[in-house]
Homo-oligomer: A and B are copies of this chain.
Amino acid sequence: MVRVGRVGLTTERLVRAGAELADEVGFEQATPAELARRFGVKTASLYSHVKNAHDLKTKIALLALEELADQVSTAVAGRAGKDALTAFANVYRDYALKHPGRFAAAQFRLDPQTAAASAGVRHAQMTRAILRGYNLAEPHQTHAVRLLGSVFSGYVGLETAGGFSHSAPDSQESWTEILNALDTLLRTWPTTS
């Protein structure tokens, strides 16, 4: 090692670097060992700043959830109906495409208390907020919330897993048409069965 003094590790800095690392090599590979390597530091040195590997991943997940919630809330502010729906969806998808590691982190299974205190609850609130423009009564609103969550996370999950690449038509086309379809669907919800 060439370094003399200290590099200035902090929990904050580790988590940010961990998020970038995740985007580069995948969330699973965003490990204490690799992170230490990047800081030019011994692995053991991280343990004053994060409890353990699981704690590191949890903190990266929380960071991702916050970033995503911030971006979504900015995009959705002042919009309603289809406009809000597509804004939400596009922010979500763009975030995942630009930050695949963080997006994967955002799906990380948090223990219930951590999840309850996370930005995950803002996501749920914002999804419901979008549906305000569609006037759905309960329990239909909840069903619709679950549908939207499923489509967004499912589509983006498949897309980042490479499911739609190298095949026509373009993924962007499908995305647009799916959002149109969802808008129509929400306007005529609930279904007559």
The chain A residues found within 8 Å of chain B, CB to CB, are 107, 109, 139-140, 142-143, 146-147, 149-155, 157-158, 161-164, 167-169, 171, 173-174, 177-178, 180-181, 183-185, 188-193
Q: Other than A147-B181, A150-B157, A184-B192, give 5 A-B pairs with Cβ distance below 8 A.
A: A139-B168, A142-B167, A151-B151, A153-B154, A157-B157
Q: List 26 A-B contacts (CB under 8 A).
A: A107-B161, A139-B169, A139-B173, A143-B169, A143-B173, A143-B174, A146-B164, A146-B171, A146-B178, A147-B151, A149-B158, A150-B178, A151-B154, A152-B154, A153-B157, A153-B158, A154-B154, A154-B155, A154-B157, A157-B157, A177-B190, A180-B193, A181-B189, A181-B191, A183-B193, A184-B188
Q: Which residue of the partner chain B has the closest CB to A146?
A: B174
Main secondary structure of the interface of A (DSSP, over half): helix
Instruction: Tell me if A177 and B140 are in contact (CB < 8 A).
Output: yes
Q: For the complex, give the distance between the alpha carbons of A147 and B152 in Å.
A: 10
Q: Which residue of the partner chain B has the closest CB to A139?
A: B169
Q: Which residue of the partner chain B has the closest CB to A82?
A: B193
Chain B residues within 8 Å of A109, by CB: 161-162
Instruction: Tell me if B168 and A149 are in contact (CB < 8 A).
Output: no
Instruction: Tell me if A184 and B191 are in contact (CB < 8 A).
Output: yes
Q: For the complex, give the distance between the alpha carbons of A73 and B109 in Å.
A: 32
Q: Which residue of the partner chain B has the closest CB to A166?
A: B112
Q: For the complex, give the distance between the alpha carbons of A142 and B143 in Å.
A: 25
Instruction: Tell me if A150 and B139 are in contact (CB < 8 A).
Output: no
Chain B proximity of A146: nearest CB distance (Å)? 5
Instruction: Tell me if B191 and A147 are in contact (CB < 8 A).
Output: no
Chain B residues within 8 Å of A155, by CB: 146-147, 150, 154
